[in-house]
Chain A
Amino acid sequence: MTQYMDFEKPLAEIEGKAEELRALARTNEEMDVTEEASALDTKARAILEELYKSLSPWRKCQVARHPERPHCKDYIDALFTEYTPLAGDRNFADDHAVMGGLARIKDTPVMVIGHEKGHDTKSRIERNFGMARPEGYRKAIRLMDIAHRFGLPVVTLVDTPGAYPGKGAEERGQSEAIARATEKCLQIGVPLVSVVIGEGGSGGAVAFATANRVAMLEHSVYSVISPEGCASILWKDAEKMREAAEALRLTAQDLKKLGVIDRIIPEPLGGAHRDAETSIAAVGRAINDMLSELSSKDPDALIADRRTKFLNLGSQGLAA
């Protein structure tokens, strides 16, 4: 059973009814509900299409945060072979909010790094809901260094509400860790491609997504601050998150127009969580495409490409 979001209420009712009918038919042999149920299915599909035809930015945030949305681990398990996690920052700890290691994509060895949010209460706590501490960024720096030395392309999967705002994280230099990770992204002489698969939360996302190529799933978001945070600062009311989400231009579609990302990966109808397999396959194709676009470039060209890209960013407005 899918977890419904508030705006999916009409859909929930109809899909619920169809489900009920089918359950009834299973206990009662004489009943034939095929026709009614499929009528309801058609209706549900129409509603789903209508809802997802033009999702508002706030609704996209909700879809991006959907608990059943495929997470980093799902992508790594499905798209990569021989995944060999590498742990620890060699200084303090291993951060479970960041997973990464050696893996092959279509036989090519790469370094894969991503934020993992977890899928149930236990794993969410273990993963700290995908909010990395300095150790997470320092682990990523270490892995990027290895990739650089051995000429392995780096693939990052971004899905974080943001860097963890905690006491220990601040004590151990959250800012410095993020700054150094961003710096490392710009220094490595290997292809670096990034996909925002869910939430791209502020500095915590930039630290991984300062890449040669950045793709976003259709309903994922990438923003300087959460809509709730922005609303509470600028509107002095956290409940104005809809307005804030609108104003922040955090959707993949707006970011493409601004030139911040390079491509949008389409999601199945109703969001990635309704058909994880299709979404994961689409992300896999995008990663392969992006890697092959970069495969002919030498290390210096890759570094120069990243620099030029970010230096020129923002010269065009949204109106253009």
Chain B
Amino acid sequence: MNWITNYVRPRINSIFSRRETPDNLWTKCPECGTMLFHREVSDNLNVCTNCDHHMHITPRDRFIALFDGGTFTEVAVTAPEPDPLNFRDQKRYPDRLRAAQKETAEAEAMLVARGDLGRTPIVAAAQDFSFMAGSMGMYVGNAIIAAAREAVKLKRPLILFSAAGGARMQEGILSLMQMPRTTVALQMLKEAGLPYIVVLTHPTTGGVTASYAMLGDVHIAEPNALICFAGPRVIEQTIREKLPEGFQRAEYLLDHGMLDRVTHRLKMRDELITITRMLLNLPPAVRADLPPPDKTAEAAEAVLEEAADPAPDASDK
């Protein structure tokens, strides 16, 4: 327990242990326990091939599968004041942030991009559950504001994929203030007459559900996603009874009128194309003519390098 074991050794290890192959070639489905080969999982967009359980998917992988040809342009998000409260629990907040950045190779818990969806230009935002449980802090708020502004500027619909444990406690009241902040962003979108579609994925809870995730024109959820304000454990402690099977899951919310649809991840892209084109009063998509979604990361990365230059995309609105 000294600085050599804590700091120097991991550094040295990380230099030597970087490999091109994934650390783990096999993933165990948390629902049915089937061992799945990594390629099989990624080809199926992290949906278990055995039981259809929808596992987490990173925003980047989701966008590659979503946008035509797997290509999209990242929309820049203003970086907020880091650690505004000087928050410290058992760890310092900046340390937790750095750890999450290292683990996910992402800046924060939300990715915003513009691109074509079935040849319909859209703006999309996706929350990253693997980044501090996708929690909503200043950055996520800024990301949604950036997404809404981009959509208004380019006159495009916004599709948002939510996934979060709730508000980022380490930003205290400022995380709570993202509820009104993101609501303002969505009002700008609605006033511009642009569709806002929310895809609720597992899990969407707390302040996220109680703000931008429940204010969509259309709400679609992935199967069996937990969607709630108060989590099941909190409710069980409050009412002291066991909750029924499937409580607060997507299908349950559909039954209770909180969602429009529950859609399998592999069918989501087609459905989003259909819905956005109708909301925008466009003719039906010519599906046969579409370039197939290209899942190679290289294609996306090539575009990412152009992200600094918005000119080519802005001109085609």
Interface residues of A (CB under 8 A from B): 163-167, 169-176, 178-180, 182-183, 185-187, 202-203, 206-207, 210, 222-225, 230, 233-235, 243-244, 247-250, 255, 258, 260, 307, 310-311, 313-319
Contact = CB atoms under 8 A, between A and B. Distances in A.
23 contacts: A163-B229, A164-B238, A165-B229, A165-B230, A167-B239, A173-B258, A174-B229, A175-B258, A176-B210, A179-B179, A179-B183, A179-B209, A180-B215, A186-B180, A202-B167, A203-B176, A203-B206, A203-B210, A248-B85, A248-B169, A260-B174, A310-B177, A310-B181
Contacts of A164: 238
A271 B123 CA distance: 51
Given A175-B228, A318-B85, A235 B90 contact: yes
Nearest to A230: B169
B86 A260 contact: no
Interface of B: 80-81, 83-90, 138, 141, 145, 167, 169, 171-177, 179-181, 183-187, 206-207, 209-215, 227-230, 234-235, 238-239, 243, 247-248, 256-258
Contacts of A318: 84-86
A166 B239 CA distance: 7
Nearest to B84: A317
Binding site secondary structure of chain A? helix
A178 B228 contact: no
A3 to B, nearest CB: 24
A203 B167 CA distance: 10
10 nearest A-B residue pairs (beta carbon): A165-B230, A175-B209, A317-B84, A234-B89, A178-B210, A224-B176, A175-B229, A174-B229, A179-B214, A175-B210
Nearest to A211: B180
B258 A176 contact: yes
Nearest to B86: A318
Nearest to B85: A249
Nearest to B212: A179
Given A175-B228, A183-B215, 15 more contacts: A163-B230, A170-B230, A170-B247, A175-B210, A179-B213, A185-B180, A206-B177, A235-B89, A247-B87, A247-B172, A260-B174, A310-B177, A314-B81, A317-B81, A319-B86
